[in-house]
Chain A
């Protein structure tokens, strides 16, 4: 088996009494779009916060390329090549779209880079060329999501964490985001996606991992997942006994 790009081993996160993720083990294989789904409160965002070093796990290990990264700072993890696009787009509103993306290119993963070229490429991948000179604060929600992705792409990540990039978007905008994520994967960046839009998830994912109430309940291809009774139960509830 090829080494996973990201591996969680028995990761548990407790907030005082509340167990947000309970002994979760999962693998994200290189070159895939792997989606993490589950009902609200299943622990998806907590996993992203743990992987990016925003929160420390209470127990368990997080491995990136086989090396332990839990306990490292957010900055150190970003410099290793994990970038995150936020659910609630957090652009730097006072500066232009171009300069927002350029911040990603100036920082992000360690190593040599051509800042101008990386910025242009990220703007193009996200379809933002025409908006480069506008202040980020002027963008609509759909374009803010693209900016969020473009900035993360400019950080030249090995692993891109995309936190509900389609939430609240219309079908046309959702299609655009799916195309961007496919382009990112096809250029060699592994995508780890949290998303509520099931249709989008089924369409673009190579692998799907299902969480419910902090625990992993299923894992597989889109077809396997959509047929899994445990998943259906988690989303729709168990039918009442006759």
Chain B
């Protein structure tokens, strides 16, 4: 089934690979500031895609996905600095980062697996609110238990630059992460599980009557989404160099992951990519000069967009094309 999907969408895949090649050249051409904007766009895209594995595909909107950014970041940070220690990290920084990724993702998988069973029994807004609570609890624990160093902060070891500038290193790490998450999302969407999730999103009880193992699918996607979000948290924390609770457990992360998908098109792959590019360019570049009005304008624009195009850019485009085709027929 995946092979058919690859054959059917070969032009999209080719475009994605081409895009990847173009993006790989960016650090050699653009100014450091713009590379940093690129970094932010990639992080946002990857977060939007990781969120959509559960939110977009299964229709379970998490309002607290920053829980896994924070959890991944702190688990990796504590492991790298406390368990491995500074001398090891100086000698083997890449091995350290690799192990940090494994630990951060592992922590997210374990926590997601543990909370999945009780909270995925909740539907719709109740699940969203429960996730908000999970993020709040993890954030408070990190902040108030001294061993987690949430209030004091954690300093991350530097990653070697291989002759590149520091911002280029993280640009490439995030580019790889985005490509991997996009490939996973493509595979999931086009596999049997993807069709089952689509059915579940539309009507969970009907999907169950048709034999879709909804419980198993939900838990799988929740753990997958959490783990990939955790990996992004680990990379993000390294790019910051120093984190406290407030810098990785951020409500605006949770909200933005939803906004990218809403804006671009829920349940699609291209949606969160378009959404994140628009949001980052708008907030960082265009509105960057109006710091006072920035949040006000962003908010106002979001309200306008959701009112004008509730299905997002992709959904609106598809509906427009269908109407045109029907009118022609």
Using CB atoms and an 8 Å cutoff, list the residues of chain A in contact with chain B.
Answer: 52, 54, 73-75, 78-79, 83-84, 86, 90, 92-95, 99, 102-104, 106-109, 115, 135, 151-152, 155
Contact = CB atoms under 8 A, between A and B. Distances in A.
Given A102-B195, A103-B196, A106-B192, A90 B211 contact: no
16 contacts: A54-B205, A75-B208, A78-B209, A83-B210, A90-B206, A92-B203, A95-B202, A102-B195, A103-B196, A103-B207, A104-B210, A106-B192, A107-B207, A109-B211, A115-B1, A155-B210
B198 A84 contact: no
A92 B198 contact: yes
The 5 lowest CB-CB distance pairs between A and B, nearest first, are A78-B211, A92-B202, A107-B211, A74-B208, A90-B206
B195 A106 contact: yes
Contacts of A83: 209-210
A19 to B, nearest CB: 24
Contact of B209 (A52, A99, A102, A109): A52
A152 B206 CA distance: 10
A84 B202 contact: no
Given A90-B203, A103-B198, 12 more contacts: A54-B205, A73-B208, A75-B208, A78-B208, A86-B206, A90-B205, A92-B198, A103-B195, A107-B196, A107-B210, A108-B210, A135-B322
Interface residues of B, number: 20
A92 B212 CA distance: 14
A107 B216 CA distance: 14
A95 B1 CA distance: 18
Nearest to B319: A135
Nearest to B4: A116
B202 A75 contact: no
Contacts of B1: 115
Contacts of B192: 106
A108 B202 contact: no
A92 B199 contact: yes
Nearest to A81: B211
B196 A75 contact: no
B211 A93 contact: no
Contacts of A92: 198-199, 202-203, 206
Nearest to B209: A84
Contacts of B208: 73-75, 78
Given A102-B195, A103-B195, A106-B192, A93 B209 contact: no
A226 to B, nearest CB: 32
B212 A75 contact: yes
B213 interface: yes
A115 B192 CA distance: 11
Contacts of B244: none
Given A75-B208, A86-B206, A90-B203, A95 B213 contact: no
B214 interface: yes
Contacts of B207: 103, 107
B199 A103 contact: yes
Contacts of B198: 92, 95, 99, 103
A83 B209 CA distance: 7
A99 B5 CA distance: 14
B211 A155 contact: yes
Contact of A75 (B195, B199, B203, B214): B214
